[in-house]
Each structure stands twice: as structure tokens, then as C-alpha cells.
Amino acid sequence: MGRPIELTFQIPPGFKGPLVVRLDRKLLTSAGTDPNSAKHGTDDASRLWFAKRHRKTTQSMTKRPAKHSAGTHQPNATGFLKLPPELRNKIYGLLFVSQNELRFSNPQFSLSSAFLRTCKQVHDEGRTVLYGESTFVFERNRNSRSPFWDPVAKEIGYKDMRRFLTMIGDNLALLRQIRVVFEDATPSSLPYVRSQEERRFIHDEHLIECLRILRRAELKKLTLCFHGRKTLTEYDGVSFLGRVCEIQADKVDIISNPRCWYMESKIHYTVKEPLVKSMTRDPPLYTVK
């Protein structure tokens, strides 16, 4: 007969029971066959339990799928990323591409572009559709606002256009179709500027900076609309026209603003044709319809 198994219970004061003890028959049988198992039976059972638990944990960790970077293909992806690329592109088109032109100050643009924050893969795929297949229209914003430190409200003008082109960073190279409407400021929007000459768009520092930034864009189609109180000639817009000529596109059009079709284009014909010719890229980068 083997040595008996000793069980010690420390019952706290006030315990009224019942005290139930359940022993495994296998533990008692193994303890009876091995003389040393009676002494170490409990320890062996504990070690066996921990060994099995450790083995199951290790197996589950090895079967766990490895983490993939957001920009790589994820074969085990679920939800939106599990859809075929063709369907994802259609969804991007419905989110980002509007039948009408996209004005960057439109709240709908900011809401739809928030989808790019989903993950890196969605950002890399969706931004090519957002910036590459949309037509962006930049116009003078005649609304006024002032920062908290300045009590005088000033016209927004082309400030938001400049901020937008700067904010999108590398996405600037993805822009393909844009339309820029050149307009003078009105006395009501710029009451602190007395001279009409100073209110002309050719002197707007924010607009000139926007033209400098657009040199880096690989445009497919560029549409320009010239409006103002004076017709733009080669004599009064030398520095301004120099900035405009630096922008290149496969197709360049100078038209009247579609939103104000009744207003004729304020650019002299002696400037219009040379300007279009100097801005048209030859040979073209894309196939323009």
C-alpha cells in the first residue's frame, strides 16, 4: 500500500459549510501505483495541467495570423477590403467623384474625403480617384472673416485656395482637371482698399502663390476664366502672365465662366492665343478626349 494522501483545509472562523471535496479517481489510482506519486501526486498533476495549458497557448499563438501593413494585400481581410478592386473603385467613384465640378470649399467634399482616414490602404487607393478623377474649381471667395486677434473682417479671396493646395502635399501631383476663375475684388468685399487697380486679381499675392504651386501639378486639362473690370493685356500683367505660363497641361482652354455665361472673357486676343500655346504640353502625358 502506498502512503496515504494528506489533505489540509484551513477553514476561517464563522464558516458554516457545507465543505465539499471532490477527488479525481485517476489521481488516486496513479498515486497508488507509484510509491513516490503519493508524495508528489498533487505537484505532478499541477505540472501536467500547466504543461497542457502552455502547449495549447503556444499552438494558438502560432496559428494567429501575422499582422499586415495597411498598404499590402491582406488575404484574410474582411469587410470593405475583402471586396474586389473593381468594386472598391466604383465605391470610391460614388464617394469622391461628383457629376458636377468639385469646389473644395463645399462641405460635401470634406465629408466624403474623411473616408480616406479609414486605413492606409484605403487612403492610397482612394486618393488617386479623389484627386485624379474629380474636376476642382477655384474661384474668388467674396465672403469675409477675421482671425480672433483682428477685429477687421477681410475678404477670403484666394486664401483658401492657397491653403488647400498647400495642405494636400504630395497629392498635388495627382490633380488632373482644374478650372481657375480669375476675378477682381469688389469695393464691398475690400472696403479698406481704395484703388481699383489694387483690387485686380493680377496683384493678389495669394493667387500668385497658388499659380506657383500649380507648377508641380501634372494636369491633363486646365480651364481658365478671366473676368474683371479691365481686359488683361500684355502690358499690365507681365509678372502675372509669367506665373500663369509656368503651368503646363495637355489641354488648355480659356473660356467664359459657365456660372456667369453672360460675362465675356476679359483677356485680349493678342494674349490669349500665345498663352494657350505656351501652356499646352507637347508631347502630352495623357490621352485627352
**pLDDT tens digits, 259-268:** 776 678 889 9
pLDDT in tens, 135-149: 899 999 888 887 777
Instruction: Give buried/exposed letters for 162-182 (b at 16+ CB in 10 A, else e).
Output: bebbeebeebbebbbbbbbbb
Q: Is the pLDDT of residue 158 over 90?
A: yes
pLDDT 10s digits, 20-78: 777 777 666 655 555 454 444 555 555 555 555 555 545 554 444 444 444 445 555 56
pLDDT at position 51, please?
A: 55
Spatial strand order of the sheet with 102-103 comes to: 102-103, 135-138, 177-182, 219-226, 249-254
Cell of 166: 498647400
Q: Are 146 and 152 in contact (CB under 8 A)?
A: yes
- Per the confidence metrics, is the pTM higher than 0.85? no
How far apart are the C-alpha atoms of 134 and 190, rounded to whole Å?
Answer: 32
First-last CA distance in the chain? 99
- pLDDT tens-place string over residues 190-225: 777 778 888 899 999 999 999 999 999 999 999 999
- Would you say 256 and 211 are in contact if contact means Cβ atoms under 8 Å apart? no
Alpha helical stretches, state H, the chain: 25-33, 37-63, 85-96, 107-113, 120-132, 159-167, 205-213, 238-245, 269-279
